[in-house]
Structure 1
């Protein structure tokens, strides 16, 4: 009989739960909150099979991996999303159904029987709305939701010491501002909630009935101080996961003192490293819903971007591997880009580095006993979709792409190649010399940390052709890459020594996107061998929970593998060109600040 391991990851939504009015093995119900998570499970059998589950913004995905980290099969199932202005919501019930469908389909495609898999998720309860609509299905506030900008500003104005560990200021994408918004705007929902959870932690709870939270979610999104947790627990039994890292003064200062009650029962009484085995594994209820076997080991979760980091950070070519004595130093020179709807920039260090405008330092939030630095761009894949879909030439171009059985972006890349040849340009990037994009259409997450920042597009004409759309698309790709260069340079200026980029996510399938990033950042970009590294990172948690490996890092080294390496152009003209455009990129935001000041003065 073969064994399976499983893990979870998601895009960090916030979820709320209330007491169930029906008899249930679970004491509380799901509510709308934004969550992120990865969970995993493993059985003791002849073959080791790992199952990873990733809940993204638009779908739930499941993937099965062998002992070498090779993908055996994967499947996805769409999830519903409601968008209304700055409010973005989802349903935990819908997400669980999507997970169940994806797991069953992945097992079928990989020809894996349920006895071979060891993974679990389980829970029952009634959702509580976090929506103005009052729709009880909408019990999740998605990570990209920006309804709590004003609450974030008020929290940041208090200069609490916990803010040191999130770049100096909370983002409206984090949980405290969202929680404060619910309390101030939906008091009935607030009074009904029995537990507030990250989606990833809820999924682990749903699978096992164990309410132990992850250091990843609590530290990165909830202001939990992981280093304080370790300091206070280091003399205790290793199984003691008492949540010692909450700063009660912070919650009281911002008006959420009720979250401290009952030894932090609503936000987490116990916190553990990612991959820590939960409860007795997968419950019988969850096993039945997922088509798996009860008792499979399930580990504490990771946020999806952090799962991507675990799934690729050791994916370096064998020829480039450093001797073991320098492993830690080499690991700390790498940055992982997880590129999807948004992009997260993950780097670790052995010492804590305080970097203004960049999230962290987070203790053990991704790789145990290392400090995590987390940069990010709130809109990347979403921005490219927006720029293309809102152009008048888009429908006709989409029809052409469909007739050629290629993606719209592949067709745009071909158009740009043809334009470069027809116009006798020295290199493709030079097509945008008159067009510049500031990609902050959903605010700036890093390193400026300005949620009020706006996008800018310079160089428009009356041209509505497909070629003009291709230029706007290329300029947007470049603007996103300049944003990443800004983050890398900012991190290096504050103590990091990043010289290698590893990238994963849907956008890395776009060759132009990756090449522009390599040319603009000036670093080689390594892609993983496997196409689903976030799922692999989640599955690694299962391997750790099943005691297949003694540590998360050991599992990463065993299961990560490198694929293609994209090197920056050696043409000095390309570097000179991008240096000039990067200078304009930086000036665009300064101009925006000036414009903002002028208008504020006019409206006084």
Structure 2
């Protein structure tokens, strides 16, 4: 998107720091996208340490500055239009940033390279530490489905203290969840957000009280994090969209970004939460649907299932309920798939016909997904089946390549597949692609079942994020869960929209937020369920669950031989 700016009374900027890139989008006063830019960011990963993934805060900030300046250039912003930019909002992955007393990077790597000062969200080095925390049965765990994930920060902080040199740990004076770090870089203020601290750092929050739980941290020899009124983790933790005179762009950051000093900097959000906010700004296909009746699936490399509720709903294996982390005065539950999009990529890219697929996509000047969809359509016509999903009746798989986040909460679970044959053709690749899309949908059904059984009630489901641009997946999900599923208009990126909204939004209660979101009401596309597919997907879903149970039982049975 590189359009020239049109007349607008004001502009809002949304910044999204994803797993592999930084994205920036500028919106006009009607919340229509004006211009977008994207830049890759570096990941440090070695086959010698396969569970460890690291990034650089300096590299990320440089990429943000590049994207903002490039957007202004691509949009041909005049100095007068730049002066009409009113706000900037940040979202990012829940990665752990470490800096010293002068706010310079401190290495999280055994290499000691200070450039590597971020432990990424998908880093699984803290398996043993997370297990120790979970074995404590601490009361804090109740708000994380009974277990914290090894992707959350407590286990990673414990790993750092146990494995880094004493010098490195002593140098580590400030620990930020990445969204909060970006807010700090923009404002030079040390405020932290409820979103990051409650959801990823076990900050306690309820209708009656909130604060750091010193007893929790002291159980794991991390009581030094509570020194000086919890300075290392954050002395001031703020509710979403709360008003503060310090939420303004600093002179230094303004110069780096090419923006006016003093514009409003919004409450930072974890990327999935920004996606949920942007998703709720889309018009619901069912009138008068309350926020608590809408499930937003933010689907990309991983997927997050975001559900609001007026009362606390405890779901085994689902993170939360967390209070005041997205919508003021509402609780939020977060189910998740550790590897949704990544599983789709893995199935496609490891198939023997992948190179042939790439060549065909290049020849047709299109992407690989379009080629696979065309092959499936041709196979449907050839075999005269009423629905394309019927082509995969003999092929079944799960997507637990990176463990199961929800609702089994089993980081050791592996993926399974049955029905393989000596077939390396493009047609077979297309069928495997279909099967993995179905597996993503069946795993989604498993999560939705658990959330519904615990007390959530959904009338409609939305997908946003990268996987929302695979229409076949959206239709399969609608057919599996037998509910309408909708996606935003192709021009709208819900994550960047949510980030931009949080840059401007100041609200005290859920009604104020809902009124603003209803006023935006982005256009949508609706996928209605096919009732003729109920029995087929019911049977395949039961096989999906059977494969998971077989994997769990097999690992349990063989564990006595694998103690080493």
Same fold, TM-score > 0.5, yes or no: yes
1:61 pairs with one of 19, 23, 26: 23
Q: Is the 8 A contact 1:80 1:91 kept in 2?
A: yes
Q: Which runs of 5 or more structure 1 residues have no equivalent in the other structure?
A: 1-44, 233-243
Residue 535 (structure 2) aligns with: 576
Task: Output the CA distance in 1 between the equivalents of 2:220 and 2:484.
Answer: 44
- The within-5 A match list for 1:152-171 is 152-171=130-149
Q: List alignment gaps of at least 5 residues for structure 2.
A: 1-6, 91-98
Instruction: Specify the alignment match of 1:223 in structure 2.
Output: 202
Show the counterpart of 2:219: 253
Q: 1:262 aligns with which of 213, 228, 238?
A: 228
* Structure 1 position 554, deviation (Å): 3.2
Q: CA deviation at 1:185?
A: 0.9
**Equivalent residue for 1:126?**
104
Distance of 2:88 and 2:388 partners within structure 1: 48
SS state at 1:596 partner:
helix
CA deviation after TM superposition for structure 1 residue 550, in Å: 9.4
**Counterparts of 2:67 and 2:190, CA distance in 1:** 24
- Stretch of structure 1 that moved more, 83-92 or 538-547: 538-547
Task: Identify the residue that residue 338 of structure 1 maps to in structure 2.
Answer: 298
Check whether the contact 1:337–1:502 (CA below 8 A) recurs between aligned residues. Answer: yes
The match for 1:98 among 63, 67, 92 is 63
Superposition pairs of residues 172-183 of structure 1, within 5 angstroms: 172-183=150-161
Kindly tell me: are residues 121 and 538 of structure 1, through their superposed partners in 2, closer, same or farther at Cα, counting changes over 3 Å?
closer
CA contact 1:68–1:558 (8 Å) conserved in 2: no
Q: Tell me if the contact between 1:297 and 1:546 (Cα under 8 Å) persists in the aligned partners.
A: no
What secondary structure is seen at the aligned counterpart in 2 of 1:576? helix
Distance across 2 between alignment mates of 1:550 and 1:478: 37
Aligned pair partner of 1:408 in 356, 359, 368 = 368
2:83 partner SS: helix
Q: Secondary structure at the match of 1:332?
A: helix
TM-score w.r.t. structure 1 length?
0.86
Match of 2:85 in 1: 117
Cα distance in 1, alignment partners of residues 223 and 242 from structure 2 = 29
8 Å Cα contact 2:297/2:303 also seen in 1: yes
Question: Which of residues 449, 473, 480 in structure 1 aligns to 2:440?
Answer: 480
Residue in structure 1 matched with residue 270 of structure 2 by the alignment: 303
Q: Distance in 1 between matches of 2:168 and 2:157?
A: 11
> How many angstroms apart in 1 are the aligned matches of 2:511 and 2:558?
59
TM-score, L = length of structure 2: 0.92
Of structures 1 and 2, the one with the larger relative CO (CA 8 A, separation 6+) is: 1
- Aligned match for 1:425, one of 349, 363, 385: 385
The answer on whether the counterparts of 1:274 and 1:300 sit within 8 Å (CA) in structure 2 is yes
Q: CA deviation at 1:587?
A: 0.8
* Cα 1:441/1:110, change in 2 over 3 Å: same
Deviation, 1:432, is 1.0
Q: Secondary structure at the match of 2:505?
A: helix
Aligned residues: 537
Matched residues in 1 for 2:12 and 2:511: separation?
A: 16
Query: Any idea what SS the aligned residue of 2:328 has?
Result: coil
Return the alpha-carbon distance in structure 2 between the equivalents of residues 559 and 290 of structure 1: 27
Please give the alpha-carbon distance, in whole angstroms, between the structure 2 residues aligned to 1:313 and 1:297: 22
Mapping for residues 440-459 of structure 1, pairs under 5 Å: 440-459=400-419
How far the C-alpha of 1:119 sits from its partner, in A, is 4.0
CA RMSD of aligned residues (A): 2.1
Cα separation, 2, equivalents of 1:134 and 1:390: 34
